[in-house]
Structure 1
Amino acid sequence: MWKGVISAITTPFNADLTIDHGALADHCRWLAEHGVVGIVPVGSLGESSTLSHAEKRQVLETCVGAVGERVPVLPRISALGTPEAIAMAKHARAVGCRGLMVTPPYDHGNDWREIRAHVSAVMGATDLPCMLYNHRPPHRVEFRPEHIAELAAEFPHLEALKEPVIDASRIGAIRDLLGPRLEIVVCVEDTIVEAVRAGASGWIACLVNAFPAESVALYRYAQERRERETSELYSWFAPLLRMDTLPKFVQLIKLTQERVGRGTSRVRPPRLPLEGDELREALATIENALATRPRLAV
């Protein structure tokens, strides 16, 4: 379940900024048809911070209803309070999600005793396979290798670790402690080939929302060490992949979806649509990519 391209998904909105559940279901089906091995709703890309608890529940229900058993729905479980996170984890299981991405509370400091209590409470409330999100550095929370080993020993259904940056020495330290016990999944876009070569087994991707065939192909070429195909596709894809590294990654990825006919660029406040030079530069990048879109090798 943790090997291959897993899509973090955007949340589509109607003109009045309510959730467009029809578009959401269609998008999940489209991604499944193009080879993703999992779907992660209500994450940062899904504008989770602007969704109410009830809306998050509805998103999970729509995603599961759309893809059924075809691919697992693996929601991010994150809340400011532990009880709310536990409630979301239980709801995810009840509606048919097949795994969880467990995240520490974003506004909390890096106190291991408290963070451990939070993620342990969430994982202890479910028997679903879990992936721990080591959400450093932007949120000041880091699971050190010994922390990860401690949690892995207590929770056999902790199956994967999501890393936000490539750090070969860190991956090596985790492997030294745990061997192959956990899958290493990365969420890097513009260094994904390097991450695969460093030992990552999965990729939680974002530009896959607009270019699923290219994302799946790039991951496969890198895994199979097909150097020429990897280099050519990576060179074309890189300007798009770098969008995910920018502060306005949500607006940029939604704009890209809009330009390829797979959604709209609507975002919820406090985010605002791109304008001026930001919009012109983004459109130039997207249109150049579309004009030079490569034919994928088998």
Structure 2
Amino acid sequence: MQKSDFRGILPAITTKMTADQQVDLAAVRADVAFQIDGGVDGIIACGSLGEASTLSAAEKLSIAKAAIEEAAGRVPVILTIAEDSTAAGAALAAEAEKIGVEGLMVLPAMRYLADDREVITHYRTVAAASGLPIIVYNNPIAYGIDISVEMLREMADEPKFVAVKESTGDTRRINETLNALGDRYQLLTGVDDLALESLILGCVGWIAGLVVAFPRETVTIYKLVQQGRIPEALEIYRWFLPLLHLDIGPKFVQKIKLAEHIARGTSPVVRQPRLELVGEEEKAVRAIVEAGLKARPDLSRYGL
């Protein structure tokens, strides 16, 4: 992947925690190695799935640095900017560039539901703080702010805005954006259980969640779509769908960390106020993951 090119599979990795909810940097490095071995095209650190809301800026930078050291130039490391204030976001962006981060995924400022003018000003201010390319993260379902096609048109004069993580949950937005803006932005799907549809409609990458537990399956789906082998991609995708549905709702972090734990043996610990799943919630996730593992497709059939 070239700088400013965010095609392919980009896992939004979870932040591995010790039993006392401290960041486990050794486990972060092991996770990055696991993803790269699975064939991914980049690493996104400290996103929503990475529990960004409970990490300090210093922790985020330490996670990014560990990921960069492990990646060793094999794939780019992208840091998420999801801060409460524009000033904090800009400061983190500047520090990220200093340690070797190769791109940023930027959200609107948290907590406050800004209007369009405020959102655009936030993005421009963060962009001015570094020379790094930026993925604009649009997730109105989770964060209450919709970065519309018209807003993207207004932002198009800033060359650092190179891609959009499209997480509206409405695949019509993909065609609307492409019709209005052509290839000005790389569109990346951010909704796991709409990923295949989104890739067929024109998204060039998948910022994925369940990839953290199943990288090879995720990568194979993407490669098959790129080769136009849609029926074969559908075979894997339909197996994957019950697992991909875990990437939805307020407890998606707990669900995906538990899926990782079952599939890979990694730590399911989350940072409070989140708590690990118990009771029927845990049983339901375990049943989905165990059924998926039992029916896991033989990827050698696809010759990739």
TM class, shorter-length: over 0.9
2:77 counterpart SS class: coil
Aligned to 2:294: 291
Amino acid at match of 1:225: G
Unaligned residue ranges in structure 2 (runs of 5+):
none
Q: With structure 2 as the length reference, what TM-score do the two structures score?
A: 0.94
CA distance in 2 between counterparts of 1:235 and 1:172 reads 23
**Greater Cα offset, 60-69 or 172-181:** 172-181
1:65/1:244 CA distance change after superposition, 3 Å: same
1:176/1:227 CA distance change after superposition, 3 Å: closer
1:162 counterpart SS class: strand
Q: Give, in angstroms, the shift of residue 129 of structure 1.
A: 1.0
- 1:109 correspondence with 2:113: yes
CA distance in 2 between counterparts of 1:247 and 1:271 reads 10
CA distance in 2 between counterparts of 1:262 and 1:113 reads 45
Aligned to 2:278: 275
Match of 1:134 among 138, 152, 160: 138
Conservation of the 8 A alpha-carbon contact between 1:165 and 1:186: no
CA distance in 1 between counterparts of 2:193 and 2:180 reads 28
Q: With structure 1 as the length reference, what TM-score do the two structures score?
A: 0.96
Match of 1:93 among 85, 97, 108: 97
Conservation of the 8 A alpha-carbon contact between 2:105 and 2:134: yes
Amino acid at match of 1:27: D
Q: Report the count of equivalent residues.
A: 297
CA distance in 2 between counterparts of 1:278 and 1:26 reads 28
CA distance in 2 between counterparts of 1:238 and 1:170 reads 22
Amino acid at match of 1:160: A
CA-based RMSD: 1.3
CA distance in 2 between counterparts of 1:177 and 1:194 reads 20
- 1:259 correspondence with 2:262: yes
Conservation of the 8 A alpha-carbon contact between 2:44 and 2:78: yes
CA distance in 2 between counterparts of 1:187 and 1:132 reads 11
- 1:54 correspondence with 2:58: yes
Q: Structure 1 runs of 4+ off > 3 angstroms?
A: 165-169
- 1:74 correspondence with 2:78: yes
Amino acid at match of 1:118: H
2:188 counterpart SS class: strand
**Greater Cα offset, 193-202 or 109-118:** 109-118
Unaligned residue ranges in structure 1 (runs of 5+):
none
- 1:204 correspondence with 2:207: yes
1:245 counterpart SS class: coil
Amino acid at match of 2:105: M
Amino acid at match of 1:83: A
1:66/1:53 CA distance change after superposition, 3 Å: same
Amino acid at match of 1:80: D
Aligned to 1:228: 231
Q: Give, in angstroms, the shift of residue 54 of structure 1.
A: 1.4
Match of 1:243 among 239, 246, 249: 246
Q: Give, in angstroms, the shift of residue 233 of structure 1.
A: 0.8
Q: Give, in angstroms, the shift of residue 241 of structure 1.
A: 0.5
Conservation of the 8 A alpha-carbon contact between 1:210 and 1:262: no
